[in-house]
Amino acid sequence: MLERKGEWMMLKALAGAGMALLLGASLAAAQSVTMAMSSAPTSVDPHYHTFAPNETLGVHIYDRLIERDPLNNLIPGLALSWKLIDDSTWELKLRQGVKFHDGSEFTAADVAYTFARVPTVVNSPGSFSIYTKTVVAMETPDPYTVRMKTNGIYPLLPVDLSNVFIIPKNLGPNPATEDFNSGKNAAGTGAFRLTAYKQGERVELERNDAWWGPKPHWQHLTIRIIPNDGARTAALLAGDVQLIEFVPTADAARLRADKRVALSEIASLRLIYLWLDRSRSGPTPFITGPNGEALTSNPLNDKRVRQALTMAINRPAIVERVMEGAAYPIGQFVDKGTWGHVPGLLPPGTDVAKAKALLAEAGFPQGFRITLHGPNDRYVNDGKIIQAVGQMWSRIGVQTTVDAITWPNYISRANKQDFSAYLLGWGFGEATNPLRSLVYTYSPPKGWGAVNRGRYSNPAFDGLVDRLMTTADDAAREGLVREATSLAMEDVALIPLHLQKNIWAMRAGLSFVARADEDTRVMELRPTP
Amino acid sequence: MTTWIFRRLIQAIFVVLAMTVIVFIGVNVIGDPVEILISPQADQAERARAVIALGLDRPLWEQYGRFLWNAVQGDLGKSFVFNEPALRLIAQRMPATMELAVTAVLLSIVLGIPLGLYAGLKPNSFAGRSIMAGSIFGFSLPSFWVGLMLIMVFAVQLGWLPSTGRGQTATLFGVQWSFLTRDGLAHMLMPALNLSLGNIALVLRLTRAGVRENMPMDYVKFARAKGLSPVRVVFVHVMKNITIPIVTVIGLEFGSTVAFAVVTESVFAWPGMGKLIIDSINVLDRPVIVAYLMMIVFLFITINLLVDLLYTVLDPRVRLESRE
């Protein structure tokens, strides 16, 4: 009996500790925090895998030359300033007095070391060289200046630099990925230092009091991996964790009403959109005539058909009913307030009569049959979104069958142009990215249009992108970005639906800065004053 | 006996070979791991590099041949995702699953057999009927739902138990175990119970059926007539006769508890092998999938072997190979 009493005391003490945390008490013991991530990082090595969870772990341990603010604008990180000194040279001035966790001082040599290391990571399933390869040469005139040479004008270098974590040259030649996981190599300049890493389970970190940024509130940080949505929410409600990311939309409404927790949300840079097959001039596999007869050509090559399809979609209804408010309807790539947004470019209003007229004009007075494909386990409510779109298309006479497929199979088929109309999402750092990667003509040698799965191709659009990618002046480039965006939307290169919201939930009494880029930074979790 | 075991092993090797062929072809049909692993921002050249880095540019038969050659030398390949040996990844996760499964099976024995005995001996009592009615819930409620309910009640509402995770661990034989610490046990209680619910119901019903079947038999009457105490009749005579089906089921269930602990593991964020295999299937991490399935096949074969051997101990009439 006594034994059992002891157990009870223990549990009570634990509960008490949870309460103290919840109240944000300034007790030393309470300055530890647990955060739950929705998927597991694949490595502590910051250059092993271009994968969002690795980035979330990385921002706590390492720093980048250029960082991003919550709205995704570039701000100084390890570099205090950056400027073009001639058409192909960027000069960066580095922050002085910054120390790595191993005690060595951060200088230009570490930048050179990092850039040399990135392309050499063994067996990387997604290399960071996509962010470093435009730098063809690097000079370090003094320990706090770096000059990066690019092939011709490359205005996006600062954006690329905001993806690359800097590691110390002290790690020596070819540091092994395993040694990062064991903690031996995991030295960055970041706000926390790694104390333990258990793959797929948890990561333990201690505050780095020598960090150059504002001192984080938490002395000890535990990151737990809880992929199951229900379990993650329950862990927060039970007080086992203080912060969770990717709050499921179904739970968001309930959590909003719960006094024990608070939410923090923002429009993300993840666009949910539909591709229309433009790779075929002959018949496309999933479109047949109104009675199921084979067609001789691909109706999606007719701009009027594409306009009818985008016009048929009631985006506010999808956002309100399917997404339960956790998205913003959109008719371009980025939201208001983000660089490159085209003022006044709204999604087309829903107009069934006009859409029918456009179809008739294009030679389909009876509409046609189409199968709309989508994943069912990748984006928020993806399977339900395509169902809603299918119903809306059926209303204008396009008889739609919906087919939702699991992601591993889906994406492989989408890459082979297996579908006629299909849903995908695209997360991006800034507004030129979707123009260059999604809409630009698929051109392997150049590396552009790499994810142009619909194989849309428009020489006028490509010309605009070629021009803007060699325009160094930010304002002039933004003008071209807007022009190209408007052209792509007018021609219905793809059908944008909405931008997802990023939602975090935390215990009441804490506040967290929601970020457009999906990174969860515990540095920005503090007790509400 | 030796030839019998030897024959079993040969069978096992063929099963494993067939399984690896199926996985290789299956994963290849599902899709391309590179498409899932690579950054969406990657350009065409980077995609091509990743395909070559993972050896996926080779024809499938060549990939399989290389796998077999390395497997014979004890190397099952490196995970595409983690760049660590697949076997090491599985070995790291195995203790967590094993301790959970063993606890669950122990729970099903400790709770299932006494409850089943009671329900069998007093089938018409209120408690007996309640046990039987309750057991229906045990195997009919979906375990992910029960798991979430347990969390909602005991972690969120009452705050008695931690909601998820493995808690504090202690080292034994160089491996981390939860059952050695109080915090770890508290973390293990709900997932183990959740995992064992179906098994408890199964063992309970089997025990009850066995008792009901055996009680009216002549040998029981005879034992009673001999003046043996009811305790001895039930626990020695009846138990001996009903144990064989129970042992078979517990053995098989242990295999499936290990292999399919995945639902419980994901609801309780328990870092075991089940979670690893599901994650690996989602990203088509073939080396891990193959290594895991090979291990499970061996596990099932070993358990079957042990169960067959146990038969001979429990029932002297059963003789392997019947001494031909």
Residue A20 has pLDDT above 70, yes or no: no
Mean pLDDT of chain B: 83
pLDDT tens column, A247-282: 988 888 888 888 889 999 888 888 999 999 999 988
Residues B13 and B118 in one domain: no
Residue A341 has pLDDT above 80, yes or no: yes
**Chain B residues within an 8 Å CB radius of A125:** 33-34, 37-38, 50, 53-54, 80-81, 83
Residues A362 and A486 in one domain: yes
- Which amino acid would we find at residue B211? V
Q: Please give the Cα distance from A88 to A168 (Å, whole number).
A: 27
Query: Between A and B, how many CB-CB pairs are < 8 A?
Result: 167
Indicate whether A259 belongs to any domain. Answer: no
Q: DSSP letter for A228, please.
A: S
Residues A274 and A179 in one domain: no
- Which amino acid would we find at residue A293? E
A323 close to A380: Cβ distance less than 8 angstroms: yes
In this prediction, residue A27 has a pLDDT band, given cuts at 50, 70 and 90, of: very low
Contact (CB<8Å) B93/A198: no
Contacts of A51 (CB under 8 A, 6+ apart): A41, A42, A126, B37, B39
Residues B220 and B269 in one domain: yes
The arithmetic mean of pLDDT across residues A452-458, rounded, is 92
Residues A210 and A286 in one domain: no
**Domain count within chain A:** 2
Residue A355 has pLDDT above 90, yes or no: yes
Q: What is the reported pLDDT for A437? A: 87
Indicate whether A263 belongs to any domain. Answer: no
Provide the H-helix boundaries in A439-473: 459-468
**In A344-372, which positions are buried (b, 16+ CB within 10 angstroms) versus exposed (e)?**
eeebbebeeebbbebbeebebeebbbbbb
Residues A63 and A195 in one domain: yes
Among candidate residues A225, A256, A285, the one where a domain is terminated: A225
Q: What is the reported pLDDT for B45? A: 79
Residues B110 and B255 in one domain: yes
Residues A217 and A276 in one domain: no
Residues B113 and B15 in one domain: no
Weakest mean pLDDT among A70-74, A187-191, B169-173: B169-173
Residues A155 and A299 in one domain: no
Contact (CB<8Å) B271/A48: no
Residues B46 and B180 in one domain: no
Residues B49 and B144 in one domain: no
Residue A22 has pLDDT above 70, yes or no: no
Higher pLDDT, residue A518 or A141: A141
Indicate whether A239 belongs to any domain. Answer: no
What pairs with residue A422 in β-bridges? A275, A373
Residue A334 has pLDDT above 80, yes or no: yes
**Domain count within chain B:** 2
Question: Which residue of A125, A235, A437 is in closest CB contact with B38?
Answer: A125
Residues B155 and B20 in one domain: no
Weakest mean pLDDT among A411-420, A480-489, B27-36, B95-104: B27-36
Residues A320 and A393 in one domain: yes
Distances (CA, A) of B296 to B70, B106, B258: 20, 20, 8
Question: Which residue of A177, A234, A412 is in closest CB contact with B35?
Answer: A412
Indicate whether A446 belongs to any domain. Answer: yes
Q: Please give the Cα distance from A23 to B228 (Å, whole number).
A: 66
Residue A419 has pLDDT above 90, yes or no: yes
Q: How far is A292 from chain B (nearest CA, A)?
A: 28
Indicate whether A485 belongs to any domain. Answer: yes
Taking CA atoms, what residue in B is nearest to A424?
B40
Residues A339 and A430 in one domain: yes
Contact (CB<8Å) A231/B164: yes
Token code pair at residue A406: 């699991």
Residues A221 and A282 in one domain: no
Indicate whether A32 belongs to any domain. Answer: no
Residues A55 and A197 in one domain: yes
Q: How far is A483 from chain B (nearest CA, A)?
A: 23
Among candidate residues B19, B44, B72, the one where a domain is terminated: B72
**Chain B residues within an 8 Å CB radius of A40:** 279
A392 close to A274: Cβ distance less than 8 angstroms: no
pLDDT tens column, B277-302: 888 888 888 888 888 888 888 888 88
Residues A220 and A276 in one domain: no
Indicate whether B261 belongs to any domain. Answer: yes
Contact (CB<8Å) B271/A200: yes
Residue A13 has pLDDT above 60, yes or no: no
Residues A93 and A220 in one domain: yes
The segments of chain B whose pLDDT lies below 50 read 323-324
Residues B44 and B97 in one domain: no
Weakest mean pLDDT among A372-386, A494-508, B297-311: B297-311
Residue A4 has pLDDT above 80, yes or no: no
Range of the domain at A444: 269-501
Q: Please give the Cα distance from A241 to B188 (Å, whole number).
A: 18
A157 close to A83: Cβ distance less than 8 angstroms: no
**Chain A residues within an 8 Å CB radius of B37:** 49, 51, 125-126
Question: Which residue of B36, B81, B281 is in closest CB contact with A411?
Answer: B36
Q: How far is B33 from chain A (nearest CA, A)?
A: 8
CATH code of the domain covering residue B107: 1.10.3720.10
Q: What is the reported pLDDT for B320? A: 57
Q: What is the reported pLDDT for B321? A: 52
Taking CA atoms, what residue in A is nearest to B168?
A202
Indicate whether B112 belongs to any domain. Answer: yes
Sort A85 into a burial class: Cβ within 10 Å, 0-12 / 13-18 / 19+: exposed
The arithmetic mean of pLDDT across residues A66-70, rounded, is 91
Range of the domain at B157: 92-315
pLDDT tens column, A317-330: 999 999 988 899 99
Residues B150 and B64 in one domain: no
Residues B66 and B108 in one domain: no
CATH code of the domain covering residue A341: 3.10.105.10
CATH code of the domain covering residue A212: 3.40.190.10
Indicate whether A457 belongs to any domain. Answer: yes
Distances (CA, A) of B291 to A226, B33, B93, B124: 24, 17, 13, 50
Contact (CB<8Å) A238/B162: yes
